[in-house]
Amino acid sequence: MRVPRALAPTAYVALAAADTALAASSSPTTRRFRMVTKPLLMPLLGTAFATSLGDRGLHGGGRLRGGTVVAQALSGVGDIALLGKGEPAFLGGLGAFFGAHIAYTAAFTDAARPPSDHSSMTGVHAAAATFALVGPAMAWAAGQKSSTLRLPVLAYAGILSAMFAASTRLDPSIPASARNTVVAGTTLFLASDSILGMREFVLPEKSPLTDAAVMATYTAGQGLIAAGVSQAVRSRAAR
């Protein structure tokens, strides 16, 4: 029996909502269920992404598809690492997501406008301004907590900004709906990591509601990136 195409995306949305709700709970017993839900997020999203392309016979997709798969896998490693406590767990998660953003940047660059095309640079300028304003400030705040965190946090802010910038430069031959979906996803990913940084280094106390905001924006962002890339790959294959 053929599995309905919408089953995996629907299951991902349901799991993301469940994990967000668990993150919002102030009960330690309830939050323990995240040891199950959070590690399943990226494998389920990866399944949904592969299904959206595989059942159409699109087994190619080049670096755009491959980079997205790698980014999802590394994000899954980061999700598991961040379930731990303390600085080593945080650095492990930071490193995994650093790799994920490199993969996303490579994927988006492969489907980008030609280097000679200097139109639509608003996103690049916004990313540069965001990094210039927020990156050093967040690195300083992290350094107040631990000097070991200062440079990794600054480097992470740089690759996160580069990933967002690359997502805004997708080739105009890709349908606008796909490009807009990808940018919406990277914007939410940027928002999620910004909230996470505020929670870790700026806010005086960690709140379950902040955790829920991190997960809501993160899971929505990852889902939108996957949906946009899937549409982009299909459109490129149809040409």
For 85, which DSSP code? -
> Is the confidence at residue 3, as pLDDT, over 70?
no
The confidence score (pLDDT) of residue 187 equals: 97
> Is the confidence at residue 60, as pLDDT, over 60?
no
Torsion of CA 94, 99, 103, 106, to 10 degrees: 100
Helix-then-strand count for the chain, H and E: 9, 0
Residue 115: CA count within 13 A, CB half-sphere: 0
> Is the confidence at residue 128, as pLDDT, over 90?
yes
β partners of residue 112 = 170
Compute how many other C-beta atoms are within 10 angstroms of the C-beta atom of residue 75: 26
pLDDT band at residue 136 using 50, 70 and 90 as cut-offs: very high
What is the SS3 assignment for 67?
helix
pTM equals 0.93
Contacts of 114 (CB under 8 A, 6+ apart): none
